[in-house]
Chain A
Amino acid sequence: MAANVQLLADAPFLILQLLLDGLMIGAIFAVAAYGMALVWGVMNVINVVQGELVMLGGFITYQLTLWGVSPLWGVPVAALVLFFIGFGLHHAVIRRVADRDMFISLLATFGLSILLQQLMNQIWGGDVRTAESGLGTWFLLDYTVTVSQMKAAACGGAIAIGCALILFLKKSRIGQAIRATAQNPRAARILGIDTNRVFAATYGINAALCGAAGALVVMAYSVHPYIGLPYTVRSFMIVIVAGLGNLPGVIAAGLGLGAAENFAGFILGVQYQVAFVFCLLVVILVIRSSLLQRQRRFLR
């Protein structure tokens, strides 16, 4: 561990490399986190199945490449398929638990996450999958720093998806209805907004976001049925740190988390990177709660 820190101090280009890689994946984290914040803010549900939806988007894209379709099509296709899956999940499960005690919805979405994770395991097997995009690598600064073009493209794609979502929420009719419902569901109902449809649309949009993010993940990184939960936890952490409905915060926290994780993976060893994510979750929660405790409040 100390040796790795020493290595970082000796070779500043490594720092730049880790930072760049971290920021690029952080953009994808931010997209998934924004979806989670949307569902949380509008429906008051912490969506534990978030990471599995990301993985599912990745597997759909992988399936497309098996059929000989370019994985770039995966982004719209996965988003569309996931939108309908999200719609179905909302109809079957989420709407029945949304207005109940938050632990019920937590446990229900946790059950969904086990269900999806095992279904993916049955369908695509327990191997790590990637989709080859055929893009190359850029070499910067005299070949000391490498940037995979696909990772850069994935980062750009994540930013584009984020912008599209914001435009959609600001301009479109249903986007305005979603924001109104998030502010005050009762007033929204009084003004004639069908909140049940808004909930279904919100969940579907969140699933579509996850699907698109998953398509980027499978092209630039890799997917596996069992690594959905870390994505859920990352989204959760980002939302906790940034707060609900704080878009610049979500972006900053997402990028920061990506970079922090990459540095931790390098310093502690790759086998501890996931452990770092989960420990960081506990640490963040403890810090948040002790800050609130000073004002005799607690996390709600």
Chain B
Amino acid sequence: MSARRQQLLALGIAAAGIALPFAIPDFRAQIAMLWALVIMAQTWDITGGQTGYNSFGNILFFGVGMYASVVVQRDTGLDYYAALALGMATGAAIAATLAVLLGSMILRMRGHYFAIATLGLGIAAGEIAGGWDYLGAGSGLSPPLFPAPPQTANLFFAYLYFALAALTFAALAALYRTRFGLALNAIRDNEDKAEAMGLRTGLYKITAWTIAAFVLGLTGGAMGNMLGFVDPRDTAFAGATFGVWMVLMAILGGKGTLWGPVLGATVFHITQELLWTHLLGWQRVALGLIIVGIVVFFPQGILGWARTRWPARHEQREQGSGRA
């Protein structure tokens, strides 16, 4: 895609994001979820696709944001919107701090050890939250009711998540064009050489993970309110749903690309909404099959496949963006 086409596409998506909640008001909740999933896939791709550090545990930051937000809402006694804003900010701050602390320890590991360590972190967080009375232990917490009918609530969250997704996309698009983005790709392609060239790889990796954690903290902060309940294992630290989905969506779309996670999240969410309801309890079995199928037979993702299918267009794009 040329730069001009990309701009047109972005404009089209922006128009859709603004118009959709009014065009199909019955689907506002699903639209909000779609943007949330887009954010998750994008943030996973910062370390997973661009830096080559595949995390299974980014759900940790999502859940931390969710709990922090609801606890702030419970304990401060501010009015709904102020408490939500403060809660989301607190959640993002805690998530980012955690990412710096944990990242400085586990981002030294390479490749799959990092993946397994993050898997452990995500599940450990769920187990701790499930035993901690301050956080409601196993039964979780209930966020305050939205001060308006459900339709308005869904409209609010659809726009909130759309704004967040658009901001994240714009920020990442800008970020990947800078030296920082190139450094991340250098780490992915050959970390030893990147280090030998004098890049401070540790710093770059921690920063990348912290950015992802910050955005995920915000996303989780609003998600507890949107879903209406916070549960340690099913919503907050839901390794088997959101936690895997974000990896899957990024890979499905094409990891390490700007548009891949957006595309993957959209395709995944639409497929899920169309098919899932017919599967009645077999959804998660299907999820397992889909993961195995995509990983084994389609690891390059939709964009990766398109590049091999139409190499000419890919080359054009490379020249167009001046990176040939």
Interface residues of A (CB under 8 A from B): 46, 93, 96-97, 100, 102-104, 106-108, 110-119, 121-122, 229, 233, 236, 269, 271-272, 274-275, 278-279, 281-282, 285-286, 289-290, 293, 298-300
Contacts and interface: CB of A to CB of B under 8 A. Distances in A.
A233 B105 CA distance: 19
Interface residues of B, number: 42
A96 B285 contact: no
A37 B30 CA distance: 44
Contacts of A274: 123, 127
B105 A286 contact: yes
B124 A114 contact: no
Contact of A275 (B127, B251, B289, B296): B127
A108 B244 CA distance: 12
A75 B180 CA distance: 56
A269 B290 CA distance: 38
A102 B111 contact: yes
Contacts of A298: 108-110
A279 B130 CA distance: 14
B296 A233 contact: no
5 shortest interchain CB distances as A-B pairs: A115-B288, A111-B291, A275-B127, A278-B124, A271-B131
A46 B127 CA distance: 24
B121 A97 contact: no
B146 interface: no
Contacts of A102: 111-112
12 contacts: A96-B296, A97-B296, A102-B111, A102-B112, A104-B299, A107-B54, A118-B282, A118-B284, A282-B120, A286-B106, A286-B117, A299-B113
A218 to B, nearest CB: 22
A187 to B, nearest CB: 26
A111 B121 contact: no
B291 A289 contact: no
Interface in B88-138: 105-106, 108-113, 115-117, 119-121, 123-124, 127-128, 130-131, 137-138
B1 interface: no
A99 B144 CA distance: 51
A195 B66 CA distance: 49
